[in-house]
Amino acid sequence: MIAPATPVIADFDDGSDHAAYGQGLFASGDQSQQGKSTATQKVIDGGAHGSKGALEVTGEVRPGAQYPSAGTFFFAKGAIMRSTLDISAKKILSFQVRGDGKPYTFMIFTGASYIPLMQAVETGPEWREVKLELAKYDGADFAHVKGFALVSMASGPFQFQIDDLRLE
């Protein structure tokens, strides 16, 4: 499926974690790796730039999986990690984020590999924009994106908020 022309994937202003396309956003830990990390999410009032809502993700990363992690995930519509979305015509993936000051990792799952592209994301008490220039990821198969995620990989509890997820 080719990504629609609309740049907004999710802004949470309607009070839900649904997305304009794909499967929406959902919280997940590392149970697929037999891990014990957990995550939950809920839409809260008060998003970036005074918008109506944002998605708050909380959880705890615990030892036990090969790659312990937990956070929020977006996947293309269809079978998870099998269906793809073509974003090759897009230049920027961006979102607003704030949180507990811990480091987070934004992952993009592309092509035949299960190893994601990864980008460090810093958080703090104020909203900040994260812009990922897709052209910087040499060799990435953006015609076949399975999904992306914002996760904690640091042991212990975590909390962050995300808003205004866009592809332009």
Encode pLDDT of 92-132 as tens digits: 999 999 999 999 999 999 988 778 999 999 999 999 999 99
CATH code of residue 23: 2.60.120.260
Confidence band, pLDDT 50/70/90 cuts, at residue 6: confident
Whose structure tokens read 């269906």? 83
Q: How many CB atoms lie within 10 A of CB 82?
A: 9
Could you tell me if residue 153 is inside a domain? yes
Query: Residue 72 corresponds to which amino acid?
Result: T
CA dist list (Å): 159 to 46, 90, 123, 125? 16, 29, 10, 11
120 near 19, Cβ under 8 Å?
no
The C-alpha atoms of residue 108 and residue 83 are separated, in whole angstroms, by 14
Cβ contacts of residue 138 below 8 Å, gap of 6+? Answer: none
Encode pLDDT of 36-48 as tens digits: 999 999 999 999 9
Could you tell me if residue 2 is inside a domain? no
Could you tell me if residue 14 is inside a domain? yes
Q: Which domain holds residue 99?
A: 8-167
* Number of domains forming the structure of the chain: 1
The C-alpha atoms of residue 8 and residue 19 are separated, in whole angstroms, by 8
The C-alpha atoms of residue 82 and residue 76 are separated, in whole angstroms, by 9
Give the whole-number percent of the chain exceeding pLDDT 90.
82
Confidence at residue 88, expressed as pLDDT on a 0 to 100 scale:
95
Q: Any idea what the Cα angle at residue 159 is, between residues 153 and 162, rounded to 5°?
A: 95
Whose structure tokens read 């944002």? 54
Could you tell me if residue 3 is inside a domain? no
Could you tell me if residue 163 is inside a domain? yes
Query: What is the DSSP track for 46-80?
Result: --GGG-SEEEEEEEEE-BTBSS--EEEEEE-SSST
Confidence band, pLDDT 50/70/90 cuts, at residue 4: confident
Using the predicted structure, report yes or no on whether residue 81 has a pLDDT greater than 90. Answer: no
Could you tell me if residue 96 is inside a domain? yes
Could you tell me if residue 160 is inside a domain? yes
Could you tell me if residue 159 is inside a domain? yes
